[in-house]
Amino acid sequence: MADVEGLRNAKRFAEDVDFSNNGDFHVKGAANLDWGMKDRLSRIFRPDTKKTVMLAFDHGYFMGPTSGLERLDLLIPRLADYADCLMGTRGAIRTSVPASYNKSVALRVSSGSSILQDDLSKESLVVSMEDAIKMNASALAVQTFVGADGQKETIEALNQAVNLGSRYSIPTMGVVAVGKEMERTTRFFLLATRMLAEFGAQIVKTYYCEDFEKVASATPVPLVVAGGKKVSEEDALTLAYKSIQSGAAGVDMGRNIFQSDNPEAMIQAVNRVVHEGMSDKQAYEFYLHLSNLTKETV
Ligand code: R5P
C-alpha cells in the first residue's frame, strides 16, 4: 500500500477529453467485457443515447412503506413505460411487477439494517446468485459505505457481488451510501466512486456534487445519479440536468418521481432531460403541460 504521507491532491482530470477505451461499445469502461455483460448493460443503457432512466423503489428494504410506495402494484404500472430500468428488491419485484413488462432490473442484493437503528451501514450480500439469475437481473445493486463503520463488510459484499456477477455475466452496480454523519463533498465522492469502480463495479450510483465533471472523469464506469430527498419538481429536474451535463450516464430517481404531485408527468420530464438533452427549464414547462393535460382529462 502506498505511503499516504505527503499525498498530492489529484488535479489533472481532463474533464473535456472523452473516455478513450470504449472501442465500439456505448457503455463506458465496458469495451473489454464479454457478450452477456454487454447485453445486460445494453438493456440498462440505451444504445442510441448511451444513457438510462432508472426508477428506484427499493426504499422499503430498510424504511418500510415510504410515502408514495404504499402500493407498488398500483404505482409501478403507471411509471414502468417511462423507465429503462427498475431498481427494487426481489420481494417487491416478484410480488408487484408483471414479468411481461420485460424491463431491465437492477436488483437490490444487499441489506442488513433498518431505520430503527442509528447506524445503517451494516449491510452484507443477502441474495444468492441463483435467485438473481432467476429474477433475470440485469445488474446487482450493492450499497457500499466508504468511511463509515460498515466499510469493511460492505466493501467485501461489493467484491463478492463482482466475483459472482462476473461468473454469470451480471454487472454489479456499486451504490455510494451517504449516512447521517458522512460528508457529501467532492473529495468524498471522488474517493468513493473511484474505489467502487476499482473494485470492479461496472456501474456506480452516486450523488450529484460540486465539480461533478471531475468525479465523472475520474470514474472509468458510468455514473448514475440518485435523486435524494424530495425537492420541488423544478429543482429535481435541475439536478437531473446538471448531472447529465456534467457527465452522468443517467439518473436513478425515486422519491422525486413517486412523491411528485404527478409521477407520470415527472418521469416523462426526467426522460426528456436524460435522453433528449432537454434543458431543466424546458423540462419543467413540459412537466407543467403534462400535469395540466391530466387535470383537464380527469
Ligand atoms: C435508497 O436506499 C435507495 O438506494 C434508493 O434507490 C436511492 O436512494 C434512490 O432513491 P431516491 O432518488 O429516492 O434517493
- pLDDT digit string, tens, across residues 8-17: 788 899 999 8
Name every residue whose Cβ is closer than 8 Å to that of residue 90 and which is 6 or more positions away in sequence: 107, 108, 127, 131, 135
Q: 2 pLDDT exceeds 80?
A: no
Query: If you measure from the C-alpha of residue 177 to the centroid of ligand 1, how many angstroms do you get, rounded to a whole number?
Result: 10
Give the residue, by CA position, lying nearest to ligand 1 atom 2. 59
Q: Of 297, 291, 292, whose CA–CA distance to 268 is shortest?
A: 291
Q: Please give the pLDDT value at position 233.
A: 98
- Signed CA dihedral, 250, 169, 79, 176: sign only: negative
Q: Ligand 1 pocket by C-beta < 6 Å: which residues? A: 56, 58-59, 87, 175, 226-228, 252-256
- Residue corresponding to grid cell 410480488: 95
CA Rg, the chain, in Å? 18
Query: If you measure from the C-alpha of residue 20 to the centroid of ligand 1, how many angstroms do you get, rounded to a whole number?
Result: 31
pLDDT band for position 190 (cuts 50, 70, 90):
very high
Query: If you measure from the C-alpha of residue 228 to the centroid of ligand 1, how many angstroms do you get, rounded to a whole number?
Result: 6
pLDDT band for position 253 (cuts 50, 70, 90):
very high
Q: Please give the pLDDT value at position 3.
A: 67
For residues 131-138, average pLDDT: 98
Inter-residue contact 226 to 206 (CB < 8 Å): yes
Q: Which residues are catalytic?
A: 205
Model confidence pLDDT, tens digit, residues 63-111: 999 999 999 999 999 999 999 999 999 999 999 999 999 999 999 999 9
Q: Please give the pLDDT value at position 5.
A: 67
Query: If you measure from the C-alpha of residue 162 to the centroid of ligand 1, how many angstroms do you get, rounded to a whole number?
Result: 21
The whole-angstrom separation of Cα 106 and Cα 87 is: 5
pLDDT band for position 181 (cuts 50, 70, 90):
low
- Among 86-95, 109-118, 229-238, the range scoring the smallest mean pLDDT is 109-118
Name every residue whose Cβ is closer than 8 Å to that of residue 92 and which is 6 or more positions away in sequence: 57, 58, 60, 72
Give the residue, by CA position, lying nearest to ligand 1 atom 14. 228
Contacts 24+ apart (CB under 8 A), 71-78: 72/96, 72/97, 75/258, 75/263, 78/263, 78/264
pLDDT band for position 250 (cuts 50, 70, 90):
very high
Choose between 258 and 7: higher pLDDT.
Answer: 258
Average pLDDT, the chain: 95
Give the residue, by CA position, lying nearest to ligand 1 atom 1. 59
For residues 106-118, average pLDDT: 92
Specify the pTM: 0.95
- Among 31-40, 180-189, 248-257, 272-281, the range scoring the smallest mean pLDDT is 180-189
For residues 28-39, average pLDDT: 97
Give the residue, by CA position, lying nearest to ligand 1 atom 7. 226
Atom index in ligand 1 nearest the CA of residue 63 equals 2
For residues 200-204, average pLDDT: 98
